[in-house]
Amino acid sequence: MTKRVLIVEDEFNIADLLKAYLERDGFEAMWVRSGEQALDELGRQSIDLIVLDIGLPGIDGFEVCRQVRARASVPILMLTAREDEIDRVAGLESGADDYVVKPFSPRELVARVKAILRRAGGASDPGVVLRWESIELRRDAREVTIDDNPVELTNREFDLLGALLAHPNIALSRDRLLELVWGGEYPGGTRTVDVHVAQLRRKLGEASPIRTVHGVGYKVAE
Ligand code: CA
C-alpha cells in the first residue's frame, strides 16, 4: 500500500523538492503551508508520516507536534534550521520521532522517512489513532471504541467524529464540518450536521465529548 507523507512547510522550493523525491521513491506526498492546514488534513484522512518544519506562519512546528501527539500516533520527522531549535527537537520534549537539520539532502531525508516507517510497523499500515479520554478512533480499521468496547457507527458518523477529535477544544462551525465530512456536497444543508451529531451523541452515550457551541457549531471538550 502506498504510504502517505504530509509535508508541512511554508517554503515552496523545499516542499517542492521534497515532494518530488518522495514521489520518485513511491510515496504519495501532500503539501500544506501551515500547521492549521496540517491538523485539518489529519482530520480528513489517514497519514502515515508527517514531515514538519518548525518555522511556520501561525502555530509553529513544536505546537503542531504537541497537538498531533495529543491525539494521534502518526510518526513525525521535524525539519529544523536553528541551533536553539536543534536542542529542543533533539530533547524528548518535542515528541518528534526524528529530525533533520537544514540544509539537508533530500536523499538523506527520504532515507530517514523510510527508517521511521520501518520502525513504526514495517510493511503494515501504522494507521492513525485519535483519542479522547475513553474514546479511541482507528482510521486504519475504521473502528471506534469506548473503553475498548466497539461502537457501531455509519461512515458519516465515523468521519464526523474523526473531524471533531482531530480538533480538540476548537469550535468547528457547521459549514466547516460540512466541508470536512461531506466534502462540499451539502445534502440538507447545515441541518445535516445537527442530525448526525445527535445520532453520534446517542451512540456514544455518556462518553460523548461533543459540546454545542451556540451560534457556531460543535467542539470536542471536557
Ligand atoms: Ca519555514
Is residue 120 within 8 Å of 111, Cβ to Cβ? no
How close is the Cα of 38 to the center of ligand 1, in Å? 14
Is residue 86 within 8 Å of 80, Cβ to Cβ? yes
How close is the Cα of 126 to the center of ligand 1, in Å? 27
Q: What pLDDT does residue 124 have? A: 40
Q: What pLDDT does residue 93 have? A: 60
**What are the residue ranges of helices labelled H in the chain?**
12-24, 35-44, 61-69, 83-90, 106-121, 155-165, 174-177, 191-204
Amino acid (one-letter) located at 102: K
pLDDT category of residue 214 using cuts at 50, 70 and 90: very high
Element housing 151 (H / E): strand 149-151
**What is the percentage of the chain residues whose pLDDT exceeds 70?**
91
What are the residues whose beta carbon lies below 5 Å from ligand 1 (ion)? 10, 53, 55
Edge-to-edge strand list for the sheet holding 98-101: 28-32, 4-8, 49-53, 76-80, 98-101
Amino acid (one-letter) located at 181: V
Distance CA(142)–CA(111), nearest Å, equals: 30
Q: Is the pTM of this model over 0.85?
A: no
Lowest mean pLDDT across 11-20, 32-41, 81-90: 81-90
Question: Could you give the residue range(s) of every CATH 1.10.10.10 domain in the chain?
Answer: 129-220
21 Cβ partners below 8 Å, 6+ apart?
106, 107, 109, 110
How close is the Cα of 15 to the center of ligand 1, in Å? 10
How close is the Cα of 9 to the center of ligand 1, in Å? 6
58 versus 90: the higher-pLDDT residue is: 58
How close is the Cα of 70 to the center of ligand 1, in Å? 23
The CATH architecture one would assign to domain 129-220 is Orthogonal Bundle (1.10)
Q: What pLDDT does residue 29 have? A: 96
Cis bond before residue 106 (omega within 30° of 0) = no
* Residue 91 pLDDT > 90: no
Report, in this order, helix, strand and coil percent for the chain, each rounded to 5.
45, 20, 35
| 149-181 confidence digits (pLDDT tens) | 999 999 889 999 998 988 888 889 998 898 888
Q: What pLDDT does residue 187 have? A: 65
Domain 4-120 has CATH 3.40.50.2300: yes
| 100-136 confidence digits (pLDDT tens) | 888 888 988 998 898 888 776 643 444 477 888 899 9
Q: Supply the mean pLDDT for the chain.
A: 86
Q: What pLDDT does residue 90 have? A: 64
How close is the Cα of 20 to the center of ligand 1, in Å? 18
| 20-59 confidence digits (pLDDT tens) | 999 998 999 999 999 999 999 988 888 999 999 999 999 9
Question: Could you give the residue range(s) of every CATH 3.40.50.2300 domain in the chain?
Answer: 4-120
Is residue 5 within 8 Å of 50, Cβ to Cβ? yes
